[in-house]
Amino acid sequence: MLIVKKFGGTSVGDKDRIFNVARRCIEEYQKGNDVVVVLSAMGKTTDHLLEQARDINPKAPKRELDMLMTVGEQTSVALMAMAMHALGVPAISLNAFQIGMRTTSNYGNSRLKDIDTERIRHELDNRKIVIITGFQGVNKYEDYTTLGRGGSDTTAVALAAVLHADACEIFTDVDGVYTADPRIVVNARKLKEITYDEMLDLATSGAGVLHNRSVEMAKKYGVTLVVRSSLNDSEGTVVKEEVSVERMLISGAALDKKAARISVLGVKDEPGIAFKLFNTLSKNNINVDIILQSVGRDGTKDISFTVDEDDVDEVISLIEKNKTRITAQKVTCMRDIAKISIVGAGMVSNPGVAAKMFESLYNAGININMISTSEIRITVLVAQEDAEKALIACHDAFGLAD
């Protein structure tokens, strides 16, 4: 068997944790399996490097930022290889140049294109544990690139895909995917299995276990993921195409407090306005989530949408600059809101799910601000002060608890 194991920054944050990870990987190796390990930068290393960069140049070129960032993972993998050698097991660390980890040419947020597996196969054939830098790649200019948030998960999935691994285990500080954030919903239940699509909708709805790009890639290449704890041996959650257990109507509920609502009021009711608005935003790398358009008065309409809280100032300034082009009369913003989503592949064939969700919120006395639905997800905006109460209400309504 070939197993890919990915450990995040906190899992390799200090000497003890490094040895803990080394021992877990060696256990797998000693069963006779081939083991490929993907690591992030240790603990706060990435933050520390970013700070150094900002101190020298707050507008540092992204190309040089990537050159700087990649030292974080290189440090992790070298130290991990040393730890495994200390435990008497042959291991070798490899970086993006050494495994031809090719990406698109953009910096800071590039996408993986290709991996040359020859070196990895060679080292595995020599019965070495192969330790690979997550998060980084090399573009066509032979420059380092980085994969953006959650990039190491994507590295692990890509490696599992090209190596035809038998399993891809993502180790985190939680022990699996829960029906809701257990810090808020005390009776939340760990899921044994979840589909890629459900996981994707949960990820975009604020459940931070896996980054959605890695789930997309796992779905595309049929890589079965296991989300497990790096601290204990509990079984974790399997993410795959079809779940084998009897399907629940709803798999989970998620809360995203970092959403903010922008409303562009009084734009002309003519073709092309929405295009101009959202094209401006996407050109500036602003991710827009829920979009809602309502007819206003006097032949005008209002467009509302949600963005990440951090992007609010930029969005407002962009709209103000383009006010004439998009014929906006006024822009308003609401920061103290939260997004509540329920996700479940089962809802496709079950009408009445939305109604049940709205009923549970009504019973809890919570006002719904905006509604958006996809095939397997229903999202509502509520006031931030109602957020936890709303999450618990939905979680209870669908019997997700233990």
Judged by the rule CB under 8 A, the positions of this chain that interact with a copy of itself are: 15, 18-19, 49, 52-53, 55-57, 59-61, 63-65, 67-68, 70-71, 74-75, 77-79, 81-83, 85-86, 92-93, 95, 97-98, 119, 142-143
Q: Of the two residues 1 and 56, which places its CB atom closer to a copy of itself in the complex?
A: 56
| DSSP structure string for 38-71 | EE---TTHHHHHHHHHHHH-TT--HHHHHHHHHH
Least gap, CB of 49 to a copy of itself (angstroms): 8
The answer to whether 6 is a known ligand-binding residue is yes
DSSP 99-132: TT-EE-S-SSS--EEE---HHHHHHHHTT-EEEE
Measured from the CB atom, is 119 or 190 closer to a copy of itself?
Answer: 119
The answer to the question of whether 327 is labelled as a binding residue is no
Nearer to a copy of itself, 49 or 368 (CB): 49
216 is in an annotated binding site: no
The angle formed by the CA atoms of residues 273, 200 and 114, to the nearest 5 degrees, is 95
> In whole angstroms, how close is the CB of 142 to a copy of itself at the nearest point?
5
Considering the complex, what minimum distance in angstroms separates the CB of residue 230 from a copy of itself?
A: 18
Which positions ≥6 away from 31 have C-beta within 8 Å?
none
Instruction: Say whether 246 counts as a known binding-site residue.
Output: no
Min CB(286)–a copy of itself separation in Å: 25
188, 179 Cβ separation under 8 angstroms: yes
The least distance separating a copy of itself from the CB of residue 106, rounded to whole angstroms, comes to 16
92 vs 347, beta carbon nearer a copy of itself: 92
From CA 186, how far away is CA 400, in angstroms rounded? 11
Q: Are 255 and 204 in contact (CB under 8 A)?
A: no
* Residue 183 among known ligand-binding residues: yes
Asked whether residue 7 is marked as a ligand-binding residue, the answer is yes
Nearer to a copy of itself, 135 or 398 (CB): 135
Among candidate residues 216, 197, 123, the one with its CA nearest the CA of residue 163: 123
**Least distance to a copy of itself from the beta carbon of 70, Å?**
7
Which lies closer to a copy of itself via its Cβ, residue 50 or residue 231?
50
Sheet holding 330-334, edge to edge: 288-295, 300-308, 259-268, 330-334
- Residue 178 assigned to a binding site: yes
Nearer to a copy of itself, 145 or 214 (CB): 145
Residue 75 Cβ, how far from a copy of itself at the closest point, in Å?
Answer: 5
Crossing angle for the helix pair 62-86 and 45-56, to the nearest 10 degrees: 150
Residue 100 among known ligand-binding residues: no
Dump the DSSP string for 248-279: PS--EEEEETTEEEEEEEEEESSTTHHHHHHH
Helix (H) or strand (E) segment spanning residue 306: strand 300-308
Query: Known binder of ligand: residue 270?
Result: no
Q: Tell me the residue type at 280.
A: T
Residue numbering of the annotated binding site for ATP: 6-9, 172-173, 178, 183
Residue numbering of the annotated binding site: 6-9, 46, 73, 172-173, 178, 183
Residue numbering of the annotated binding site for substrate: 46, 73
